[in-house]
Amino acid sequence: MKLLLKIALPSIILVQFLWSCKTDINTIDAYPEFINVSSEESFPFMVDQFSDLKVLRYQIPGWENLTIKEQKLVYFLTQAGLSGRDIMWDQNYRHNLTIRTALERVYTTFEGDKSTNDWVAFEVFLKRIWFSNGIHHHYSNAKMVPEFSSDYLVSILDATSTTLVGDPFEVLFNDKDLKKVNQAKDTDNVAESAVNFYGTGVTNADVEAFYANISSPNPDKPLSHGLNSQLVKVNGQIQERVYKSGGLYGAAIDEIIKWLELAEGVAENQAQGDALALLIKYYNTGDLQTWDDYNVAWTAATEGNIDYINSFIEVYNDPLGYRGSYETIVQIKDFDMSKKMAVLSENAQWFEDNSPLFPEHKKKNVVGVSYKTVNVAGEAGDASPTTPIGVNLPNANWIRASVGSKSVSLGNITNAYNNSGSSGRLKEFVHDDKEYELEKLYGKIGDKLHTALHEVVGHASGQLNPGVGETKETLKNYASTLEEGRADLVGLYYLYNPKLQELGLVSDWKGVGMAAFDGYIRNGLMTQLIRLNLGDDVEEAHMRNRQWVSAWAYEKGLKNNVIEKVTRDGKIYFNITDYEKLHDLFGQLLRETQRIKSEGDFAAVQALVEDYGVKVDQAIHADVLERNKQFTSAPYGGFVNPVLLPKTDIDGSIISIEVKYVKSFVGQMLNYSQNYGFLPEVN
């Protein structure tokens, strides 16, 4: 599970050359252009801004404190991650690699007039495609529309002797494949989604029938069927194309394996090395039992300073929640913050015992919740350029219950977000000065604790009733948003609780809780709407969950005026009048969402999400968009990755690795295509 940045704000390079001290050959040209960083205080976080997007940099604190063996482990893991980058592009849409290849060729070879509005629009469109790993918006899932004509594209294709014809050309301008993921009610979500997890002609009914006939050897430990495959229809028969060496995406997977084997050779300890060996075996075989064995070993491998996420993991991009998107995050432990936040893990059972859940839905023994604050060293796939700020894995419920899970907060990512924005938008949407001051005093610690509670306590909380199937089977296309909302509610419920102060995590629990409640309602009912065009429904799972949580609480509190809607000077605000009653409402909704999950109540989750999470109040939306016009900061943020630059001795062994920061988003994207293009355009 991943937590995305809740407010509207929101890969290291495999080079074919090493910087060697044994020769005078300068291979820096193989990399993007770097910037000079004079001091940590003046670090230039902002890289680029275009359309509704901004690109930032993040630092890697503590890199110099790692041993050379640890640095090599990080380097090899980041290379493994980037080697699978194009898998994500192809998973997102079947024509993405063809389109990207053609547009990049035009961009790098066109010698005509680059001062025209059409060329500027072409550049922006290509940047948007890079940012979203394809032609569909990374957050709204809507197909992005070029602001240049098809005739202009033909002209620059011809001028650069570039070929882009047929469906890959036409889809840029027609009304086909409009949604990457279509979660709409009463539609065939598979057939109406452009995501490349399913072949032509495959329907919801096909998928459900296919997996209804597949069982796991141990029903108490169900395998993640469909996680690492594409489902296609051949001569009327449904077949799986498995992601593995020798299978679908095999060329890229072989590169991943190569670097993982090098990482295994410099593992920090036996447990870490054993887990890497199982991951390599999984990539070689595609065997889902090996995937579970790996996750058990990876979850138990808690010692060491380096950790990672790598493989086909989150299922948000599958309208039915089976198939995992390729993702990788390489992490270095933040020792100081991890020590402070481990207290949540140590008290996970207290939180479970004191939650408002029905007794039968509480876990009697919350096992092995491991929480760390980490600093990211490299990301790829579904985590890049846009990234979560917190992650809790593995996703299998039975592993969480019997072995535990790992939760991490991405500290340097959050720090980069916090240092790249301004307070102007906050001032515009807070109800009054008191709300503004609370946010300034406690907003950051509240966000940090909400992330921790969401990941450590939230996703670990609760249990399914005996005999109830996996959530993706019972709650179907609503499973992801229900789970994220449920975890959010756990965090909200405990953010307004003196236990946090008792544990030494805050100095003023009530102030932190009030600021957190203000921020959540403000975002869920207003500010996240800047990410949508007027008239759009809410599609993305996290946006839906923030809206249905907030809208439900607002409606249920109307009788007692818990949250009041205020119109002042023609502008709309929401003001919490009773934090105690709102806390109680969050508890009631948490109890109900856990009941829905525990019982597999599809009718109830459909009603909750459709009634509160999908449709947008058009008057509020229009007001928000109009007020937001004054702000130049883009509503979505993403990142370029630092570059790890190895230096070798005369024998070719790595003796040091330097962290460098790229100058431009364009430079990194072109470099990645050149050095990590391991897949054909059509797979």
Is the pLDDT assigned to residue 29 strictly greater than 70?
no
**Residue 47 located in a structural domain:** no
**Residue 232 located in a structural domain:** no
The residue ranking higher by pLDDT, 378 or 531, is 378
Is the pLDDT assigned to residue 541 strictly greater than 60?
yes
Is the pLDDT assigned to residue 24 strictly greater than 80?
no
Q: What is the DSSP letter of 211?
A: H
Mean pLDDT of 309-326: 96
Domain that holds residue 555: 334-374+395-407+422-632
- Assess contact for 549 and 485: CB atoms under 8 A: yes
Is the pLDDT assigned to residue 676 strictly greater than 70?
yes
Backbone angles phi, psi at 309, to 5 degrees: -125, 130
**Residue 457 located in a structural domain:** yes
Integer-rounded Cα radius of gyration of the chain: 24
- Assess contact for 533 and 514: CB atoms under 8 A: no
Is the pLDDT assigned to residue 26 strictly greater than 60?
no
What's the CA angle centered on 225, arms 219 and 226, to 5 degrees?
A: 170
What local confidence, expressed as pLDDT, does residue 456 receive? 87
Provide the token pair at 294: 């790996």
What local confidence, expressed as pLDDT, does residue 168 receive? 98
Question: Measured between alpha carbons, how far is 308 from 63 in angstroms, rounded to an integer?
Answer: 16
Ranges of H-type helices in 266-391: 270-285, 288-300, 335-346, 348-353
Provide the token pair at 167: 């469906």
- At 87-100, the pLDDT tens digits run 999 999 999 999 99
Ranges of H-type helices in 354-465: 397-402, 411-418, 424-429, 433-452
Is the pLDDT assigned to residue 3 strictly greater than 50?
yes
Is the pLDDT assigned to residue 10 strictly greater than 50?
no
What local confidence, expressed as pLDDT, does residue 337 receive? 73
What local confidence, expressed as pLDDT, does residue 88 receive? 98
Is the pLDDT assigned to residue 681 strictly greater than 70?
yes
Is the pLDDT assigned to residue 13 strictly greater than 70?
no
Mean pLDDT of 287-308: 96
**Residue 433 located in a structural domain:** yes
Question: Which region among 23-37, 488-502, 518-532 has the lowest average model confidence (pLDDT)?
Answer: 23-37
- At 148-174, the pLDDT tens digits run 999 999 999 999 999 999 999 999 999
**Structural domains counted in the chain:** 1
Percent of the chain with pLDDT over 90: 81
- Closest of 82, 120, 63 to residue 673, by C-alpha: 82
First to last CA, the chain: 28
Q: What is the DSSP letter of 247?
A: S
Mean pLDDT of 397-422: 86
Is the pLDDT assigned to residue 229 strictly greater than 90?
yes
- Closest of 634, 473, 670, 527 to residue 138, by C-alpha: 634
Mean pLDDT of 654-663: 95
- At 105-140, the pLDDT tens digits run 999 999 999 999 999 999 999 999 999 999 999 988
Q: What is the DSSP letter of 642?
A: P
- Beta-carbon contacts of residue 235 (< 8 Å; ≥ 6 apart): none
Question: Measured between alpha carbons, how far is 586 from 492 in angstroms, rounded to an integer?
Answer: 7
**Rounded mean pLDDT of the chain?**
92
What local confidence, expressed as pLDDT, does residue 304 receive? 93
Please give the single-letter amino acid code of residue 41: E
**Residue 106 located in a structural domain:** no
Prior bond of 222 cis (ω within 30°): no
Question: Which region among 33-47, 63-77, 563-577 has the lowest average model confidence (pLDDT)?
Answer: 33-47
Question: Which region among 59-68, 92-101, 376-385 has the lowest average model confidence (pLDDT)?
Answer: 59-68
* C-alpha distances in Å from residue 648, one per residue of 48, 71, 366, 659: 33, 13, 47, 15
**Residue 342 located in a structural domain:** yes
Question: Which region among 67-76, 293-302, 361-370 has the lowest average model confidence (pLDDT)?
Answer: 361-370
**Residue 544 located in a structural domain:** yes
What local confidence, expressed as pLDDT, does residue 19 receive? 37
Question: Measured between alpha carbons, how far is 467 from 219 in angstroms, rounded to an integer?
Answer: 10
Is the pLDDT assigned to residue 635 strictly greater than 70?
yes
Question: Measured between alpha carbons, how far is 439 from 462 in angstroms, rounded to an integer?
Answer: 31
Confidence of residue 41 (pLDDT cuts 50, 70, 90): low
**Residue 516 located in a structural domain:** yes
Please give the single-letter amino acid code of residue 365: N
- % helix, strand, coil for the chain, step of 5: 45, 15, 40
